[in-house]
Amino acid sequence: MADKRPKPRLTPPALDKLTKAQKELRDAIAAGPRSTFMMRGPFAIWMEAPEFGMLAQKLGGHVRFKTAVPPRLSEFAILCTARTWRAQFEWEAHAPIADKAGVKPTTIRALRAGRKPANAPADERAIYDFVQQLYRKRRVSDGLYKRVHKLFGDSGMVEFVGILGYYSMISMTLNVFRAATDPDEPTPFREPAV
């Protein structure tokens, strides 16, 4: 059966033909907390706008590796965002990271299926409710804010919302430009018709 994945809208530039700004972006990503550079996903897309990419990758390095939000909860929030946007590449990249960070496989499966992870720990359920309400209503109730605030405090809440905003931007970027996923694996979500 032929692969029915949408074709990527951008082709990554050849590594031997990068401009000075593109090389600087590649080097900054490789020298940062990710420690490798892959010409895939948002990094490949940002090569078309390397000045933007430089700022975005710097913010991404911070929200992924340097916030007060523990990795398990950060990765859980990233999966919630990827599921909301049905961001194929984001899910494919972060589901294994979430698993290694301690998100239970049953929770990951529930999220992927679009179900509330009923058996997840209380902190993950609070984050799930927060994320769902924020993305649906564009606001959160006082009660829900207080539940999540107990986990992170003031500074952590700012960082947590920053994680959600950053990965929403990433999800939109991946979806609009149709970032390629692993052709040997099924896509995590059904492609919506547009």
Per the listing, tokens 């589901």 go with: 95
Residues 22 and 57 in one domain: yes
Can you give the residue range of the structural domain that contains 163? 71-176
Q: Report how far residue 103's alpha carbon sits from residue 75's, in angstroms, rounded to the nearest whole number.
A: 8
Residues 34 and 125 in one domain: no
Mean pLDDT over 161-171 rounds to 98
Any domain includes 96: yes
Q: Which helix (H) or strand (E) holds 159?
A: helix 142-176
**Domain tally, the chain:** 2
pTM equals 0.94
Any domain includes 5: no
Any domain includes 164: yes
- Could you read off the pLDDT of 23-67 as tens digits, one per residue? 999 999 988 887 666 778 999 999 999 999 999 999 999 999 999
Any domain includes 39: yes
Q: Percent of the chain at pLDDT above 70? A: 97
- Predicted pLDDT at 36: 65
Residues 109 and 142 in one domain: yes
Residues 99 and 26 in one domain: no
CATH number at residue 100: 1.20.1290.10
Any domain includes 11: no
Residues 150 and 117 in one domain: yes
* CA 56-26-90 angle, 5° bins: 50
Burial of 64 (0-12, 13-18, 19+ CB in 10 A): buried
Of 25, 93, 12, 15, the closest CA to residue 55 belongs to: 25
Residues 22 and 110 in one domain: no
- Predicted pLDDT at 38: 77
Residues 48 and 75 in one domain: no
Count the alpha carbons within 13 Å of 81 in the hemisphere toward its beta carbon. 26
Which pLDDT band holds residue 107 (cuts at 50, 70, 90)? very high
Report which DSSP code applies to 172: H
Q: Report how far residue 99's alpha carbon sits from residue 97's, in angstroms, rounded to the nearest whole number.
A: 5
